[in-house]
Structure 1
């Protein structure tokens, strides 16, 4: 577990540094390119892709659980994360409360969905559970924003924020999955 946490943090912080260096390197190149028209197209194209995902989820049963439900449920997760961060982060300057809340909520939801995948017998329920986990929770939780915020906080505050996020998330996961395993036993994952 410790290796996974350290590895994830190291890779994420390394990716942040590489991205920062690439941004500085490409700054002169990107200024010459006109990107104004792409901003105007982003919302209608994104909405069109989401509508296409909904239509495909209704019509194409084969890809529902693997891809389509995740595509349909991703935008609500991203929207909840955006608004929670926007409204919650300014409350405490030394602790990004909005990001903390969505990461903890997403972690608890993922643990609950995993319990649901042990309980349900298959079919559309399994596809929805996978879509909620991969799509909604995948966009609700955010390692990238978490790492940027850890990096931007003063020393001391960054350790408190990162430590609280990791410890509370792990404790919730152990509580939810452990409670189920303790009562029901560790069975085979149904879906």
Structure 2
């Protein structure tokens, strides 16, 4: 069954539980509307992640690449909770299916990031972070702490969504989807124009970097949404998310090597270096939005009750593939400067 057929089947069903009937539409939204919502909310999620990382990283000093609480730790926790709340609510089976797709795949998937989190552990394992000799131990401990926190946050959000989420999307006006589509479409166009203008006229390196990073977000999120159609039913393996996370982590590792070995030397003494801007945009925008922690955690939680072996296999396979590939790329470059 294709992703479009699955979406239509899920969309056309009338949800009846605990005495509630959720309104259904005559036909599911088109794929164009889905991608429009995903793209717009991906930019929102990317911008929110940049702000969260800055608050808990540079401003508060809580997140540190060489400690247990790595970069994007809190955005992964918050995003997993929001996705759990949305999945626990009936919103996905209403006329607002496209908006729901934008909030889950677009916002939550881009607010959380697997590639950035994975790379922090890779840098610790190969000893590239400015820490003491026990960085490898910190990396291993960070994996366990991260998984417990992210899955726990998703489960709490799921319970929250089931308890109070009935208010979200329970009654939807027949023109609700059209209003949502128009608003998101207009906002998306204005956002793209504004980001392009901002990247062109902003005199600061930080400003140009942020605008270009957010502009790259829709490409990563849209590719992840397209990959989500792939699945190995026999192994209960969400192949799409696995491919997205491993691919994004690999590209980010390559971008990191190019940035540290080539771009930084070329940009030395230059106030505005577009090489550094694009490296950051591809890493923090495209790769970070291509990968996701929230969806990854939700798939593990969905598999675990009936297929625990497949759930653990999926989790271990993702970690091992990401770490081995990134470790080879970063380690080879680190040991051969």
**Which interval holds the TM-score relative to the shorter structure?**
0.7 to 0.9
Residue by residue, what CA displacement relative to the aligned partner does 1:30-65 show, whole Å, maximum 9, x if unpaired?
336769233442233123212321221122141112
> Hey, what does 1:18 align to over in structure 2?
156
Q: Is 1:149–2:311 an aligned residue pair?
A: no
> Hey, what does 1:189 align to over in structure 2?
none
Contact kept, 8 Å, 2:198 with 2:211, in 1: the verdict is: yes
1:81-120 residue pairs with structure 2 within 5 A?
81-86=224-229, 88-89=230-231, 94-119=236-261, 120=263
- Structure 1 residue 4: deviation in Å? 1.4
Alignment counterpart, residue 47 of structure 1, candidates 160, 178, 189: 189
SS of 2:226's partner is: helix
> Hey, what does 1:69 align to over in structure 2?
212
SS of 1:89's partner is: coil
**Alpha-carbon separation, structure 1, partners of 2:245 and 2:189:** 25
> Hey, what does 1:132 align to over in structure 2?
282
**Alpha-carbon separation, structure 1, partners of 2:187 and 2:329:** 39
SS of 2:191's partner is: helix
**Alpha-carbon separation, structure 1, partners of 2:329 and 2:199:** 30
Q: Is 1:174–2:327 an aligned residue pair?
A: yes
Contact kept, 8 Å, 2:213 with 2:286, in 1: the verdict is: yes
User: Higher helix share goes to which structure?
Assistant: 1
**Alpha-carbon separation, structure 2, partners of 1:61 and 1:128:** 16
Contact kept, 8 Å, 2:235 with 2:310, in 1: the verdict is: no
> Hey, what does 2:115 align to over in structure 1?
none
**Alpha-carbon separation, structure 2, partners of 1:116 and 1:140:** 19
Runs of 4+ that moved beyond 4 A = 32-35, 90-93
**Alpha-carbon separation, structure 1, partners of 2:233 and 2:195:** 36
> Hey, what does 1:188 align to over in structure 2?
none
Question: What is the TM-score of this pair, normalised by structure 1?
Answer: 0.87
Q: More displaced, 162-171 or 56-65?
A: 56-65
> Hey, what does 1:58 align to over in structure 2?
200
* Backbone CA RMSD of aligned residues: 1.9
Alignment counterpart, residue 158 of structure 1, candidates 292, 311, 315: 311
Gaps of 5+ in 2: 1-138, 268-272
Question: What is the TM-score of this pair, normalised by structure 2?
Answer: 0.51
Q: More displaced, 35-44 or 76-85?
A: 35-44
**Alpha-carbon separation, structure 1, partners of 2:322 and 2:166:** 41
The aligned length equals: 182
Residue by residue, what CA displacement relative to the aligned partner does 1:116-164 show, whole Å, maximum 9, x if unpaired?
1212132110111011111001100011111111111111001111000
